[in-house]
A and B are shown apart, each in its own frame.
Chain A
Amino acid sequence: MDPAEVEFLAEKELVKIVPNFTQDKIFLIGGDIGPFSPSLPVSVPLWMAVNLKQGQKCRLVPPDWMDVEKLKDKKQEEMDSKFFTAMPSDQYMEVTQLILKSATDDIPHADEIRTLVKDIWDLRIAKLRSSIDTFVRSDATHAKLNHLTLMELNTVRPFLTQALDHMHVLRNNISGRIQSTQD
């Protein structure tokens, strides 16, 4: 899957905005949104929030987890744990990217948050790499991947799935089952 497609999926995540305009409820196909009134926070999909922000029609409210203290704790937890910890959002990376790109001025300590999220991402990817190494060496045929997010899986998808496909073919050839694969 293309990273842009992963981002596309993340764009339907709901975020809170504070609009500066008045508007009745909007009946979208994906659900009702609104009503909007100035300085009253309202939940909208991220794609809409980004669009409104670009038109300077609203102020973005950062999600609860997008907070320096909380992210520091999360980073520590991720460092201390041998396993992957549950992330506050399944699309933390994409949401951070999108929000920080379009609404840096609405997020307090934006730079620090960017660095922290990147640190957490790096920690998790390093963990993912080393667990893939163990997984492949152990000759296992399946693995449980709880708490990994779609974006993280996506970065290892092409390599990991193909390597495992090849290993499966090799294993079957050893055990004498001949197979024809054309993919």
Chain B
Amino acid sequence: MSELEEFGDESSEEVEVLTAAEVLSKLEQAWADEKFAPDLLEAKTDLVECMLEQINEMEENIQRAKRGDFKVSLHRMEIDRIRYLLSSYLRCRLMKIEKHTTHILEQEQMRKEEENSRLSPEEYTFAKEYQASMEGHFKNIALRHMPPNLQSLDPKQTAVRPNLDSYVFLRVAEDTQGVLVEEETVDTGEEIVDLEKGDQHIMRYRPVVPLVASGAVTLI
């Protein structure tokens, strides 16, 4: 597609204009980041919707095309590839939501007005319903047979939380100076690295959380 897509970023006033190909490569990056990050990243709803629109448009075009046209099979293949990317991305998010339901909903509640939600509205509904069904299930199956003092679940103890200290591979997209990799402890000094564009590193996820969110580093 050669025409330009309007692509609004809700958090800022300016409107980015991206070609469909750029949206696609951003989505590929979002997919990889989401796959490797231990916690749930911000939902890239705009990218997903833009790609879905493109696919639908393309499918309509295919409908209109002549039967047996050679182009059609190539377009179909591309659509299949993009659809795989989209569903893999969304499925990956759902898996994280199922795993860390309580933690994610807690974060969502503590979120300040001006921050963007990490969940899309649909994912939020899903998380809520998933939590309700799991709790209902536990109650029906086990908890109600327990002695009265053990009949409730304490989210503080039972919630599964992502391990932000897990190690990730990353590639630097923008120069960033002075990332504090290791805080100062009794026996070791603090460790600071400068990230240069194009470099690849392995380190804990925690120090780079803000950089992944801003796109200054990408996970690989």
A164 and chain B: residue at smallest CB distance:
B167
Interface residue? B12 (CB, 8 A): no
- The answer to whether A181 touches B163, judged by C-beta atoms less than 8 angstroms apart, is yes
A-B contact pairs, 30 of them (CB 8 A): A1-B36, A11-B81, A23-B71, A26-B74, A28-B75, A28-B78, A29-B20, A29-B24, A29-B78, A29-B79, A29-B82, A30-B21, A30-B78, A30-B82, A31-B21, A47-B81, A48-B74, A51-B77, A141-B204, A142-B191, A142-B203, A142-B204, A143-B201, A143-B202, A144-B200, A165-B163, A165-B166, A168-B167, A182-B160, A183-B166
Report the minimum CB–CB distance from B56 to chain A (whole Å): 11
Interface residue? A40 (CB, 8 A): no
A21-B70, A145-B200 known; A29+B160 contact, CB < 8 A: no
Cα distance A27–B151 in the bound complex, in angstroms = 61
Cα distance A165–B206 in the bound complex, in angstroms = 12
B23 and chain A: residue at smallest CB distance:
A29
Interface size class of A (residues with CB under 8 A): 35 or more
Interface residue? A150 (CB, 8 A): yes
Interface residue? B58 (CB, 8 A): yes
A25 and chain B: residue at smallest CB distance:
B2
Q: Which of A28, A145, A182, A183 contacts B202 (CB 8 A)?
A: A145
A150-B220, A168-B165, A181-B163 known; A29+B58 contact, CB < 8 A: yes
Q: Which of B2, B38, B199 contacts A27 (CB 8 A)?
A: B2
Cα distance A26–B88 in the bound complex, in angstroms = 26
B88 partner residues in chain A, CB cutoff 8 A: 5
- The answer to whether B200 touches A148, judged by C-beta atoms less than 8 angstroms apart, is yes
- The answer to whether B1 touches A29, judged by C-beta atoms less than 8 angstroms apart, is yes
Interface residue? B177 (CB, 8 A): no
Cα distance A161–B28 in the bound complex, in angstroms = 23
Chain B proximity mask over A122-154: 1 for CB below 8 Å, otherwise 0: 000000000000000000011111111010010
A21 partner residues in chain B, CB cutoff 8 A: 70
A161 partner residues in chain B, CB cutoff 8 A: 166-169, 202
Q: Which A residues have a C-beta under 8 Å from some C-beta of B?
A: 1, 5, 8-9, 11, 21, 23, 26-32, 47-48, 51, 141-148, 150, 153, 157, 160-161, 164-165, 168-169, 175, 179, 181-183
B185 partner residues in chain A, CB cutoff 8 A: 175
Interface residue? B182 (CB, 8 A): yes
B60 partner residues in chain A, CB cutoff 8 A: none
Interface residue? B193 (CB, 8 A): yes
A169 partner residues in chain B, CB cutoff 8 A: 165
A143 partner residues in chain B, CB cutoff 8 A: 201-203
A30-B24, A183-B163 known; A145+B78 contact, CB < 8 A: no
Interface residue? B181 (CB, 8 A): yes
- The answer to whether B77 touches A47, judged by C-beta atoms less than 8 angstroms apart, is yes
Report the minimum CB–CB distance from B59 to chain A (whole Å): 11
A29 partner residues in chain B, CB cutoff 8 A: 1, 20-21, 24, 51, 54-55, 58, 78-79, 82
A23-B71, A30-B20, A47-B81 known; A142+B163 contact, CB < 8 A: no
